[in-house]
Each structure stands twice: as C-alpha cells, then as structure tokens.
Amino acid sequence: MPMDWEEWQKKRQKGPSAPRKPENGEDGPQLPNFNNLLSKFRKSGGSKAPVWILLPIIVALWLLSGFFTVEPYERGLVKRFGQYSKSVEEGLRYHLPWPIETVIKVNYTQTRQFGVGGDRGGIGGLDEATMLTNDENIVNIQFVVQYKVDDPVAYAFHIYDPEKTIRDAAISAMREVIGRNTIYGALTDKRASIQNDTRETLQAMMAKYDTGLMVNNVELQDVHVPADVIQAFKDVTSAREDSERFVNEARGYRNNKLPEAEAKAYAVIAQAQAYKAERINIAKGDAARFTALLLEYRKSPEVTRQRLILETMDKVLPNVDKYLIGGKSGQGVLPLLGLNNPLTLPQLATSPPNSN
C-alpha cells in the first residue's frame, strides 16, 4: 500500500529511519537509530558524557539482533560473509549479527506449481506451448508442473534462479517427450504416458543441474492443434475414424462367421470320424460273419450253399412274393392254384402218400 506523502515528509523531518529489512527471507541489519538514542541521552542530562559510555549499549543491541526464529516448515541457512556456513532447524536460533552472518529461510514443505501455455497462471504464450510431434504435426500444449524443495542448500546456493530453471527445463522435457509421440497419441490414449515420461525426464534434469527441487507431478491441461489447420485435421480425424469403423465391422463379421465355420468343420470332422468308426465296425462284423460262415461251410457244404442261394435271392428280389416248394410234396401242386394265399394251398405237404 503506497505511503501517504505528508506522513513521509514528517518522518523525513524527524530523522533517518531504521535500515530496511532485505527481501527473500534474508535477515539484514537491525541496528538501532543511534542519532535518536544520542539525542535522548543528551536531553536527559548526559550531554557532557563521553561517547564510549554508549558503546556497551550499542554492542549489546547489535548482539541481540542476531536472534531469529525458524518455523516448522522452514529451514534456516546461515551465510558467513556471503558464503554458506550451516543449516539450522526450527526454533529460536542465533547467528552472528550483520555484516558477519545473515540468514536465508527456505520453505521446503510447500508444494509449488507453475503453468505453461497460459493456464493456471502460466506467463508463457503460444511460442513456448507450440511443439512438434513425431509425425511432423504441430500441437499446442498447456500443462502444469507441481514441485517442492527437496534440498534447501542446493536450492538457495547452486542455482541463480531455480524457478526459471525448472520452467525452462519443463518446456524442454515436454518438447522431447512430445517429439517421441504422434499427434493422435497426444490427443487420445497417450496422455498419461506423456505426463509420466515428462515428469521422469524433468526430474532427471533437476538432479543433473543439482537444483535441490523434486518434481511431484506433470499434468496436461489441454492438447489441441492450431486454429489454422483445425478443419483439415478434423477431416483427417474423420477419415481415420471411418477407417477404424470399417476395420471394426470387418473384425465383427470375421468374429461372427469364424465360429460358425469352425463349428461346421468340427461337425463334418465328427461325422467323418463316426462314419469311419461305423465302416470299421461293419467290416469287422462282416469279417467275423464270413469266418463263422466258413466254419459252417466246412462242416456241411451243401446245406450252406443252399442257404447262401436262398439268402441271395431274398436280397435280389426284396419286393417279390417268393414260394419255396420242394420235395415230393411240391410235385402235386398245380400252377393254376392261387399260390399267393398259403391257406388255399391243398394239404399236399401234410397228406401221407397213397400206399395204393
């Protein structure tokens, strides 16, 4: 908040103010206003006292200015004559007063973040967010990096500007990872992989530079093609989607027909195997029957021959009425009698022959 002009003039007329405390968490000199102390001392009757009487007071106040407090989430870094001397934990601490020693306080528990590409406070424009993919397509990327201080000493003394360093390194790491991926992967299913690869690449760079920073997360906010080519990209995307749709339809047709064909093939194979087993069994049965018939033929050849003739005639003439009349009884049967009905046949076979 700006200081009022009249108030500033009044303070200026009263005398020089106390030294201002430096920024960036550094404890600077906190010396008392010696002119005001000397003026008060003279007004109180000590105008003729020598100056050396004030020296103990001045030294005591100078020594007391070395006390400082470190919060639980901070780490105190003591510098002696501008160089790092030691680290102190939380609590009330002491260092030699300025200009011998100074203190830098670093918050090492806070999670910090910055955005690239204009999102979440990102200060960069399209130049740093425009990148080239592996298939030579231009893509605009907006992402956020979250990090915290892992080594306060390296953070405070090894790098001149850690925030700018990690920002430039994050852009470089993202360009490297995007250059290994296609634009379709960056727009669709490769986002998680790109985030993890970028975080690992950025962390490796921070370790190489010894920045004392640890990268917690890299999150893609938006990935899109430039406005100048967005219509052509939409056409290409539509053609690719149609191609994928046709491929999926063909795969569905194949998945539908292939089981049917396999089922028919299995059925034909099963039928062939069943027919094979049937023919083998029939052949074995015929062979066994022929062997049995051969044994019977050897026992009585004539009877077996007549039996084979009758069985063969029965197979050759399956739909014809057949009558067998043999012996002396068949000599008296006239061909004009109705032979189709066995009941009309005369009892010639059963009638005994006339002895006369």
Span 65-91, pLDDT tens digits: 877 777 777 878 788 887 777 778 877
Rg value, the chain, Cα: 56
Q: Is 77 helix (H, G, I), strand (E, B) or coil?
A: strand
Give the pLDDT confidence score for residue 237 in this predicted structure: 75
173: amino acid identity, one letter: A
pLDDT at residue 310, rounded to an integer: 80
What average pLDDT does range 305-328 have in this prediction? 75
Q: Could you report the per-residue pLDDT of 214-241, keeping only the tens digit for each? A: 999 999 888 888 777 777 777 777 887 8
Q: Hey, what domains does the chain have and what are their CATH numbers? A: 5-105 (no CATH), 112-225 (3.30.479.30)
Which residues is 215 bridged to in the sheet?
147
Q: Please state the φ and ψ torsions of residue 97, each to the nearest 5 degrees.
A: -65, 165
More reliable by pLDDT, 134 or 53: 134
**CB neighbours of 339 closer than 8 A, spacing ≥ 6?**
323, 333, 345
Q: What is the pTM of this model?
A: 0.51
For the chain, report the end-to-end CA distance as a whole number of angstroms.
166
List, in sequence order, every beta strand (DSSP E) within 225-302. Answer: none
DSSP assignments along 170-231, one per residue: HHHHHHHHHTTS-HHHHHTTTHHHHHHHHHHHHHHHHHHHT--EEEEEEEEEEEE--GGGHH
pLDDT for residue 235:
79
Query: Is the predicted pLDDT of residue 353 greater than 60, yes or no?
Result: no
